[in-house]
Amino acid sequence: MSHLFFASAPKHMGSLLAEELIRLGMHDATETRGGARFSGSLEDGYRACLWSRVANRILLPLGQFPATGSDDLYAAAAGMSWEDHLTPDHTFAIQFDGTLTGINHPHFAVLRVKDAIADRFTRRVGQRPSVDQEHPDLRIHVYAHQESVGISLDLSGMSLHLRGYRDEGTAAPLKENLAAALLLRAGWPEIAAEGGALLDPMCGSGTLIIEGALIAADIAPGLRREYFGFQGWLQHDETAWQRLLDEAQIRRDAGLRRLETLALRGYDQNPNAIRASIHHLERAGLAGLAHFERRELSDCRPGRAEDEGLVIVNPPYGERLGTEDELPALYAHLGAVLKERFLGWRAAVFTGTPELGKHMGLRAVKTHTLYNGPIECRLLHFQVEPQYVVTNQPRPLSPDVRSPGALMLVNRLVKNLKSLRKWQRDAQISCLRLYDADLPEYALAIDIYEGEKRWVQVQEYAAPASVDPKRARQRLREALGLIPEVLDVPGEQVYFKVRRPQKGSSQYERLAESGHFHEVSEGGYRFLVNFEDYLDTGLFLDHRDMRRLIGSLAVGKRFLNLFGYTGTATVYAARGGAYASTTVDMSRTYLNWAQRNLTLNGIDLTAHELIHADCLRWLEQMADQQHYDLIFLDPPSFSTSKRMAKTLDIQRDHVRLITAVMRLLSDDGLLIFSNNLRRFQLDQEAFADWDVTDISARTLPRDFARNPRIHQCWTLRRRP
């Protein structure tokens, strides 16, 4: 006997569901409103329940009736032969969707249908079945639309996205059928068939990887479910159902053997997420067949060098991450990791904010619209190949297309080079600022770094809204075309960045993932710089004289470097004669960088410790426990991170911060406090009992004299 079935699916997944049903043997499956329709035997309906990875529910329509109000709804339900589907000893539940005249709440429609069924049984056999909303023997679905009511049996019972491997009540960013849809759209079945790898760098509770394993191993997604809606139905065909289960078990056993050859990996920075992923993998019967590991995104890489396949990710949104300000940096970081570590792979990124994909530096080859609950999202597809890499590096203008302003810039660069040359040589300076918006039309900072080669970093200050963006872009292209010529540097050794006012953690935004470090020197010391991965290079040039001051004051002292960055001030203190030092920073990346700088300068790390910690929290923990003779405090102007105990606004918080630091200062010790907030005002009254000296001018290097507000600096010490 042939039946007509309806398979429901989330919005924009109807075509994918129809394709899936056709592959399952329902050759007349067609997309329709809210899902797909197909016809077939009862066994075909069971097969859809067991094998559909995309559907929410499989419904067996019992009748379609005209209805203009609740009375028509009652009459339609009361006229159906419910005794063919359940007995008075069975339980049932009703779900109502849609709209019907006179019904202002779904619960009223549910009550009318319930009463109709109960009244029919009472009239016929004097006994009525009970309602059980949680675990009914039979679930009935009612849908009203345009003065028509359809009544169906819900063969699935619970939504089919509930595979049985996730703990009840555990929320997930992605439902299992949506995760499967993403994988199908991303081409994972074909990649898996060719032996490709699957990797999710932000795996959460592991849904994408587990669904990917089920697909690759040809495992029926409903095989581990303990209950389907048809199992309490009077017309249930247990023989046909067992036949389908036996077939699915045989296919699973064969698929598990194939799965052993594939590399499926999930990473997440949250250890609780990794524990949940491993637990769900075990519940899915796939223990040991996928690898989950706690890793930061910066440490994400293929499991084996020869692996190639699909990277799929549903990046965290604001609530999961911390603040929305962090999202552009996260996407930029993700793009950098893909370009650096996953060349030749395909990638799919599921996002509710598709414009964030532009920060990845890759051009999407196609997109799909899907819904995550009520949220319209995009699945962005990428080929991680050089031809799809998008760069913000402006294309320089050729030398023969230069305006009179460009010639003025040439003259200014030549003049600055000449005036700084003798000072640079006498002061043993290999890294300096050559130009800092000297000409208003060219709002650039140009820094030269000397090592085994000469490198130039060009930073463009964000132009005010009054400046024509097209004209500003042309001037920038002129500058980038002439800088290599004037400074005798190959174009590939000129690095361009845009410097904007920084918010939150964006001051630490990772721009790339090259890991390319170069050695430079300053005052006889050696430092590593990086021109590609961050806005700053790792060596603050405006702090040069401040570092020298620290080195001269450090003899025989115990030194503390808070917000230590790459440890350059610690190098000066240690080589200047500090017998011990402590450097504190929240970033492991910068602390590792600091360790390399210390080692590069032959500094014994046993006496000079590096501490990974939120400085604010560390200060609270260390209050009055240790004392330092010389402290350098150089906090960011503003900082917020999920790893920080509190946000930091240096204008608002500087009194509290400095007071906390002073508790660690020895009686005759000296605190050097610096910051780069242009409009910063030190609260002099708060430190009236201390000797406070403004040394900003003293610590301003000659090459920054054109910009005296580049930083502000004070010394503070207890009065005798």
Query: CATH number for the domain including 41?
Result: 3.30.2130.30
Closest CA to 244 of 52, 29, 86: 52
The confidence band for 507, taking pLDDT boundaries of 50, 70 and 90, is: very low
417, part of any domain:
yes
- Whether the predicted pLDDT of 427 surpasses 90: no
Q: How many domains does the chain have?
A: 4
The confidence band for 234, taking pLDDT boundaries of 50, 70 and 90, is: very high
Condensed to tens digits (0 to 9), the pLDDT of residues 538-597 reads: 999 999 999 999 999 999 999 999 999 999 999 999 999 999 999 999 998 899 999 999
CB atoms within 10 A of CB 351: 20
Q: Please, is 720 exposed, middle or buried when counting C-beta atoms within 10 Å of its C-beta (0-12, 13-18, 19+)? A: exposed
- Whether the predicted pLDDT of 645 surpasses 70: no
Helix ranges, 8-105 (H):
14-23, 42-51, 70-78
The residue from 436, 469, 500 where one domain ends is: 500
Q: Quick one: 703 and 565 in the same domain?
A: yes
> Tokens at residue 367, please?
């997109």
- Whether the predicted pLDDT of 265 surpasses 60: yes
Q: Quick one: 269 and 415 in the same domain?
A: no
Condensed to tens digits (0 to 9), the pLDDT of residues 75-84 reads: 999 999 999 9
Average pLDDT rounded to a whole number, residues 527-542: 91
Residue percentage of the chain with pLDDT more than 90: 74
Residue 201 sits at φ, ψ, to 5 deg, of -80, -10
196, part of any domain:
yes
C-alpha distances (whole Å) from 629 to each of 557, 633, 664 are: 6, 13, 9
506, part of any domain:
no
Contact by Cβ (8 Å): 457, 536: no
The residue from 474, 500, 526 where one domain ends is: 500
Q: Quick one: 317 and 424 in the same domain?
A: no
- Whether the predicted pLDDT of 709 surpasses 90: no
- Whether the predicted pLDDT of 649 surpasses 60: yes
Average pLDDT rounded to a whole number, residues 491-506: 66
Q: Quick one: 628 and 704 in the same domain?
A: yes
Q: Quick one: 311 and 184 in the same domain?
A: yes
Q: Quick one: 467 and 324 in the same domain?
A: no
Average pLDDT rounded to a whole number, residues 226-235: 95
Condensed to tens digits (0 to 9), the pLDDT of residues 270-289 reads: 999 999 999 999 999 999 99
Residue 492: CATH number of its domain: 3.30.750.80
- Whether the predicted pLDDT of 322 surpasses 50: no
Would you state the torsion angle of the CA atoms of residues 356, 360, 362, 365, taken in this order, to the nearest 10 degrees? Answer: -40
597, part of any domain:
yes
Spatial distance between the Cα atoms of 612 and 586, rounded to a whole number of angstroms? 5
Q: Quick one: 205 and 266 in the same domain?
A: yes
Q: Quick one: 417 and 462 in the same domain?
A: yes
> Domain range holding 359?
176-217+258-388
231, part of any domain:
no
316, part of any domain:
yes
Q: Quick one: 651 and 680 in the same domain?
A: yes
* 412, amino acid identity: R
Condensed to tens digits (0 to 9), the pLDDT of residues 650-695 reads: 999 999 999 999 999 999 999 999 999 989 999 999 999 999 999 9
Average pLDDT rounded to a whole number, residues 212-236: 96
235, part of any domain:
no
Q: Quick one: 265 and 408 in the same domain?
A: no
Residue-averaged pLDDT of the chain: 90
Residue 524 sits at φ, ψ, to 5 deg, of 90, -5
Q: Quick one: 545 and 571 in the same domain?
A: yes
555, part of any domain:
yes
